[in-house]
Structure 1
Amino acid sequence: MKKPLIGITTFIGKNNLEIPKRFIDVISSEHGVPVLLPEIENEDLIEAQVDSIDALLLTGGDDVDPALYDQDPHQKLGNVEPERDQYEWKLIDFALKRDIPILGICRGSHMLNIHEGGTIYQDIYSQIDGKELIKHQRNDSKEHFTHKVTIKKESKMYDIVKQEEIFTISNHHQAVDKVAHGFHVAAKTNDGITEAIESTDHAFVIGLQWHPEERYHTDESSQNIIRSFVEAAGK
């Protein structure tokens, strides 16, 4: 049986393109073939990249440029990568057109939502008034869970993890604000932050605020998410 090819977006390092090895490990553990996607500018070649893969994994990284969703930069905005934003925008264009599975993690979830017309909080701690937020940015071991999320029963995410509450690893100061048309919220934290969105128009297009790749080897819900993604790519 053909092994599905999973295209994985790369981070922009100081002098090169990088990817945490854990993304490669979790995809290959589910018998997917990891294919690293270097950032390029030629639109025809980007389309060729998408045509060569069976699914797209949008990884985390720096903040998304607020110009993409027509906002001025907030004082708490972090580093942005406009070139990466433009590249991933085109990747999403072609991936949605082909209707291949897409899994967006953290920044990747933000890119999906913005691409389809939604917005994000540039800094949840200074832009959400009226209540005290829980800690969403961790500064301890990545092996420890950050917080729990509540999953909507009428969602694909619930079908995948088969639980209404799971513990997750998160590390972010931005989050989905206005949810894009054609998407719905599939999971939230107890303080109301959107933790998962999913397309109502595509078989498998999901954005997660948390990081299933961090606890894949020890957490069943994380395993189920990665496994379902690779299985969808193989159909």
Structure 2
Amino acid sequence: MKIPVIGVTPHFETDNNKICIASMYMEAILDAGGVPLLLPLKAGKEALAAAAKVCDGFLFTGGPDIDPFRFGEETIPECEVVNPERDEMEEILFELALSEKKPVLGICRGIQVLNVFLGGTLYQDIPAQFHGSLSLCHSQKSGRTVLSHSVEVDKDSLLYEILKKDTLMVNSFHHQGIKDLAPLLKTAATSKDGLIEAVYLKEHPFFLAVQWHPEHLFRVNEGAKKLFDAFIKAC
């Protein structure tokens, strides 16, 4: 049986000009039976297309803020570091994944860029711009495996199909989030203060993105493990 190769989007450290990735993304893919392949950051469409042919699926990882110009807004003071090169690289990769109908999993920044690429918008900073009925902590100070708040799972969603749960406890490390959902996307989970926490694309073989970080939870949380297992199985 062929082992799926998963293309992983890279993080870029501007201070030392280094491409890197948090090890837990790679470990979660390996644990589920896939082989992670870290993709190049500064690559054109032709080079990325060649890399994409090798991959059976793609993981859009966490990272810096998305350039607000990409969703038609001016930058507010609370917006943090952006990396336009990564935005451009990931959009090319996204278009390749969509056209070739290869499985896609987005995590944290991943849910945000996928929403923007399909025509949605973001809160540049949740504390400054989002005011729900509750005030939940979306950027927790506790450890990576600590669960911070709950999300309500839509029963018609791909996420429910995988987890078979109405409610899920998640960790949370983000200050941006989905404001206007892209027209083609469907909500898969929502926090109790009304923020969209997971989305999926029905017309795609496997297209799911979550705002939390299951890569830190897969060893201690059944739901997180099931998420990666389902993604790798789809690949």
Match of 1:116 among 115, 118, 125: 118
The TM-score normalised by the length of structure 2 is 0.97
Determine the structure 1 residue equivalent to 2:51: 49
Q: Distance in 1 between matches of 2:97 and 2:140?
A: 32
Whether the aligned pair in 2 keeps the contact of 1:40 and 1:46 (CA below 8 Å) is no
**Could you give the per-residue CA deviations for residues 145-200 of structure 1, whole angstroms, max 9, x where no partner exists?**
11111100111100111100111111111111111111110100100010001002
Whether the aligned pair in 1 keeps the contact of 2:134 and 2:192 (CA below 8 Å) is no
The TM-score normalised by the length of structure 1 is 0.97
Q: Distance in 2 between matches of 1:18 and 1:40?
A: 13
Give the aligned length. Answer: 233
Please state how far the C-alpha of 1:129 moved relative to its aligned partner. 3.4
Determine the structure 1 residue equivalent to 2:153: 151
Amino acid at match of 1:163: K
The root-mean-square deviation of aligned C-alpha atoms, in Å, is 1.0
User: Which residues of structure 2 form unaligned runs of 5+?
Assistant: none
Amino acid at match of 1:160: I
Amino acid at match of 1:40: K
Determine the structure 2 residue equivalent to 1:217: 219
Please state how far the C-alpha of 1:40 moved relative to its aligned partner. 2.3
Match of 1:133 among 126, 135, 154: 135
Whether the aligned pair in 1 keeps the contact of 2:52 and 2:93 (CA below 8 Å) is yes
SS for the counterpart of 1:67 is helix
Please state how far the C-alpha of 1:130 moved relative to its aligned partner. 5.9
Determine the structure 2 residue equivalent to 1:5: 5
Match of 2:69 among 67, 71, 87: 67
Whether the aligned pair in 2 keeps the contact of 1:59 and 1:107 (CA below 8 Å) is yes
Q: Distance in 1 between matches of 2:222 and 2:208?
A: 18
Determine the structure 2 residue equivalent to 1:195: 197
Q: Distance in 1 between matches of 2:9 and 2:66?
A: 14
**Could you give the per-residue CA deviations for residues 109-167 of structure 1, whole angstroms, max 9, x where no partner exists?**
11100001111111111112364420000112112111111100111100111100111
Please state how far the C-alpha of 1:33 moved relative to its aligned partner. 0.8
Compare 198-207 and 182-191 and name the one that shifted more.
198-207
Relative to structure 1, is the Cα distance of residues 91 and 164 closer, same or farther in structure 2, using a 3 angstrom cutoff? same
Please state how far the C-alpha of 1:97 moved relative to its aligned partner. 0.5
User: Which residues of structure 1 form unaligned runs of 5+?
Assistant: none
Identity rate of aligned residues, in percent? 34
Q: Distance in 2 between matches of 1:133 and 1:79?
A: 25
Amino acid at match of 1:38: P
Q: Distance in 1 between matches of 2:122 and 2:131?
A: 15
